[in-house]
Amino acid sequence: MRPENYEAQRHPPSNEFELNFGPNHPGIEGNYALKVKLHGDVVVEAKADGGYLHRGFEKLMEQRLWIQNIALVPRICVPDPSPMEVCYAMAVEELCGLDVPQRAQWLRVMQLELSRIAAHLFTFGGHAATTGMYSTMYWGVADRDLILDLFEEFTGGRVYSIYNIPGGVRRELPDGFLRRISETLDYIESRLPDYDNLFFKNQVFVKRAKGTGVMSQEQALAWGVTGPNLRATGLAFDVRRDDPYLVYDQLDFEIPTEAHGDAWSRTLVRRLELVESIRILRQVVAALPDIRGPIRAPIPNPLAWNVPVGEVYTRVESSKGELCYFVVSDGGPKPYRVHVRGPSSMHAVQVLEKMSVGSRIEDIAQTMFSLDACPPEVDR
Amino acid sequence: MSSIKQIPVITERKGNPLARVFDEFVRFCRSRSLFILHYCTGCGAIELPPAMTSRFDMERLGIQPMVSPRQADILLITGYVSIKTLKRVILTYEQMGSPKYVIGICSCTVNGGMYWQSYATAKKLDEYMPVDLYIAGCMPRPEAVLAGLQKLMDRIHSGEANSWEDYFRNYDYYLGNQQKLFGENWQTPTDIITEAKHYDLIDEGTFGKHTQLLEQHQKPLEALDMRLGHDLKEPTE
Ligand code: SF4
């Protein structure tokens, strides 16, 4: 079926034809569509067609209590749900002036970095599958499952953890969890050379990804690109370092960059970030036993919680890019307005449209996966 | 050609023991080789890669993903369906060849789930198409997905999973709900009534005031329109 706003017209005879790419297409990430105009195999024009996953999040959040929204927000971005809840919780804390205990902040960092590893593994897998290398996808999904097992153990949910509440986190770590997380990290680290040999050094991937979907640093900044996609153009910008939240300023990590701004660089940046995330997690595991104290600040009765009047803007670095919340409170039990600034709405709409032009049709899927766009978050 | 004609055509199914054995055999084979078309309508789709790949491995049950609706047996609806998606889901469902089975994964397909008050989602999937099986949960784990699929296999084997016949028998009800949501001009390129006649599944519910409305609005499709499913505008100079 065609896009809603589509008007069919009889055109004079030409060599161009139109193709609806998606929404139900194995090469597209999730429920998303592109309308492309082709000349032979080459894309002449691409138009993004979203809205298949629209649920009206920002409106729904205005109709629910502050605390109920915690369960709602992870659904905005399915592959990487943890930053959503952390960012929202941070916004509410800032509105109320709550002080989050140290231990809760370290636990949040642990959750965020685990989520980043899981999301990156999933993205490589998808990217590899679009170039026909299904074994990398099988490996990526299997290794991601190890992280999901950890999530299940310490938050109670495999995918949606709902671990945060304004003021802290919900539960303490289970016994022996730090040992198990170290084992999993060791295992994933030992797998990285295998991934290199199978995927990152594979000529099939290198030849197809190099020079595909190129953007310069100026273009990236003008288009609002953030996250690994921006770092792949050579700019070392990371919210974790440049505007530190939680306890990231006490942690030691690097910001990997690449210079070329193509699909290959973007995927390589993610590969290098895995190492950094593992490094951060090791520091968290080493530090956690010495940080004692409560895991959440006392909050008033959450069912009758009137958050003070005010406006806040919080941002975190998710695995896809910069994620921000703008929350307005009118002093009532429910938010007055919540705006989510997700990274994927820029990546999947304007960037993808421009990058697809001039590429061959089989590279569209690859470009989309290398941008790591997340359709549920585009549509919200 | 001549050898094909010599195969006896079994018309009297009920009394014929050979036909019963044959039917049983067909159902057995059918339940052991299922191709799923998963329309990633919502968040539940994220649990399908683990269910399909090495860890939970759906393939050992004889179930594989399939990319085109015409060759698929199961339509897997993985989560909330927004109204824009629902149109495509119905179109996809009508394109699939019978027998076809629908599984609704996630609470959102059962009753709207988390989005019960959202303006943009359809709340109950079975108002728009017959559903064989629901797998509830937000989101169901891969084990639950596999258990659901095994249940469907059993039902196919025992001959209970025939909700697809329901779509033809009660077409008027489903069409009515679709018209209520998408407007009176709603029309898909598939001619369900002719198909129902083909399968000999005409029932009281097949016709009604909604199908009459469809006939009034239905525009005869030209060859080109048939492909696009819409009437074309003349070129504007
Ligand atoms: S039931 Fe939960 S996981 Fe499933 S689609 Fe609805 S919100 Fe998403």
- What is the domain partition of chain A in residue ranges? 49-379
Rounded to whole angstroms, the Cα distance separating A79 from A200 reads: 22
pLDDT on residue A278: 92
Output B187 or A168, whichever has higher pLDDT. A168
The reported pLDDT for the residue numbered A186 is: 92
Residue B33 Cα to ligand 1 midpoint, Å, equals 28
Residues of A in contact with B141 (CB under 8 A): 158
Q: Which residues of B touch A23 (CB under 8 A)?
A: 85, 88
Give residue-wise pLDDT tens across range A177-196: 889 999 999 999 998 998 88
Query: What are the backbone angles phi and psi of residue A335, rounded to the nearest 5°?
Result: -65, 145
Angular region, A353: left φ>0, alpha ψ -120 to 50, beta rest: alpha
CATH 3.40.50.12280 assigned to B24-161: yes
Lowest mean pLDDT: which of A1-15, A269-283, B43-57? A1-15
> What's the B168 CA to ligand 1 centre distance in angstroms?
29
Q: Count other Cβ atoms within 10 Å, centred on residue B133.
A: 17
The average confidence (pLDDT) of chain A is: 86
Q: Which of B35, B48, B27 is nearest to B135 (CA)?
A: B48
Binary contact (A56, B53; C-beta < 8 A) = no
pLDDT class for A27, splitting at 50, 70, 90?
low
- Tell me which residue has its CA closest to atom 8 in ligand 1: B43
The pLDDT value recorded for residue A11 is 60
Is B185 in the A-facing interface, judged by CB distances under 8 Å?
A: no
* B216–A contact, CB cutoff 8 A: no
- Cβ distance B115 to A60 less than 8 Å, yes or no, reads yes
Which of A27-36, A208-217, A281-290, A330-339 shows the lowest mean pLDDT across its residues?
Answer: A27-36
The pLDDT value given to residue A117: 92
pLDDT above 80 (res A42): yes
Which residues of chain B form CATH 3.40.50.12280? 24-161
Please report, to the nearest 10 degrees, the dihedral formed by the alpha carbons of residues A179, A283, A77, A335 taken in order.
110
| Band (A161; pLDDT cuts 50, 70, 90) | confident
CA-nearest residue for atom 5, ligand 1, is B79
Most distant CA pair in chain A, distance: 74
Find the radius of gyration of the CA atoms of chain A.
Answer: 21
Selected residues 355-374 of chain A with any CB under 8 Å from a CB in chain B: none
Give the model's pLDDT for residue B217: 72
Q: Is the pLDDT assigned to residue A26 strictly greater than 50?
A: yes
Tell me if B43 CB under 6 Å of ligand 1.
yes
Query: pLDDT tens digits for A76-108?
Result: 888 888 898 899 999 988 888 888 888 888 999
Q: What is the rounded distance in angstroms from the CA atom of residue B173 to the CA atom of residue A34?
A: 33
> What CATH architecture does domain A49-379 belong to?
Orthogonal Bundle (1.10)
Distance from the B106 Cα atom to the nearest Cα atom in chain A, whole angstroms? 13
| % chain A with pLDDT above 90 | 9
Q: Where are the alpha helices (DSSP H) in chain A?
A: 57-62, 69-72, 82-96, 102-130, 134-155, 177-195, 203-209, 217-222, 228-231, 239-242, 263-287, 344-345, 352-356, 363-371, 375-379
Q: What is the pLDDT of residues A12-21, one digit of tens each?
A: 666 777 888 8
Instruction: Find the helix packing angle between B171-182 and B192-199, rounded to 10°.
Output: 170
Does the structure show a pLDDT above 60 at A28?
Answer: yes
Mind listing the pLDDT tens digit for each residue in A190-234?
989 988 888 888 888 888 888 888 888 888 888 888 888 888 888
Q: Touching check for A142 and chain B: CB below 8 Å?
A: yes
Enumerate residue ranges in chain B where pLDDT < 70: 1-15, 218-237
**Hey, are the CB atoms on B88 and A23 less than 8 Å from each other?**
yes
Nearest to B233 among A9, A72, A138 (CB): A9
